[in-house]
Amino acid sequence: MVHDVALVLGGGGAAGQAWQIGVIAGLAEADLDLTEAADLVIGTSSGSTTAVHVRSGTPAAELLAAVLSSPPVQPVGQHQERPPSLPMATVFERMRAIGAAATSAAELQRAMGAFGLESDAVLGPAAGQRRAMVAARLPHPDWPDRPMIVVAVNAHTGELAAFDRDSGVDLVDAVIASTALPGMAPTHNINGTHYINGGVRSGENTDLASGFANVVVLSPFGGQHRTSPQAGQFEGLRRDPEWGTDLASEVEALRKQGSRVEVITPDADSRAAMGTNQMDPATRIPAARAGHAQGKREAIRVTFL
């Protein structure tokens, strides 16, 4: 088995996180076990939750079984008591406006940070509830022994925050920060500094795998630029190739450095299973099943492990 492997887990909501678990389990069935092979795991947004599970020491098949055995979840909006958020249409409209006005990635990140801080007036009171909800989803509260990075963005400056076990930040705080999408969750306060979702910088932050010989990227939103989003679908933030923050640019940069990079994005069956609202917990089981089937197929081309 070849070492020097980085596993990059991009954001993708509840559906994307479950799809990633499915793909990882499917690859493991074909003797490509990334829970063992990855020397570094990088998690962004919901991918940070996947990263914690991948580093938990739990076999991939058991991770999948846990998703598939979860109690049925009602679709969002059907009598679930959830933390407050702004209307999704409002959030998407604001994101589009911020992306259209930005002239650089740094400007977009600062503007999204300002949006997050502004939204705290409405969302801030739910910070305690959200902390408990995120903590309950993690298999353990401590950083794993093996290398893992959880990506967030400083809401005040727009700068990268790459948390790891040496950052002096609790694991649950790092994951809460990485998943704090402006308008949908409050910014997360760590020692007086507020943080927002790492996906504001990049959906995958694949550049953090620089220097690794082999990189596997699981990107729930990575192929979405090929088609227009369906009505109500989260299309993400503007990714301008000139800024180098889109997945294709990040992958090209790694390949120019000599890395072998394999990118897995949802195929047609997985996209259908994930639906138009990837934030909806009810998508988790179908997305995991579709990801599992896709992972077994993808093993044919991910051959360097």
pLDDT in tens, the chain (305 residues): 455 999 999 999 999 999 999 999 999 999 999 999 999 999 999 999 999 999 999 999 999 999 999 875 544 444 445 666 788 888 989 999 999 999 999 999 999 999 999 999 999 999 999 999 999 999 999 999 999 999 999 999 999 999 999 999 999 999 999 999 999 999 999 999 999 999 999 999 999 999 999 999 999 988 554 344 454 455 578 888 999 999 999 999 999 999 999 999 999 999 999 998 888 899 999 999 999 999 999 998 887 65
Record the pTM: 0.93
- Are the C-beta atoms of residues 23 and 292 closer than 8 Å to each other? yes
Which strand (E) or helix (H) includes residue 273? helix 268-274
CB atoms within 10 A of CB 10: 30
For the stretch 149-167, what's the b/e string if a residue is b when 16 or more beta carbons lie within 10 angstroms of its beta carbon? Answer: bbbbbbbbebebbebbbeb
First to last CA, the chain: 5
pLDDT at 223: 55
Q: How far apart are CA 107 and CA 166, in angstroms?
A: 29
CB atoms within 10 A of CB 40: 20
CB neighbour list of residue 256: distance below 8 Å, 6 or more residues apart:
none
Q: How is the chain split into domains, by residue range?
A: 90-190
Q: How far apart are CA 178 and CA 188, in angstroms?
A: 9
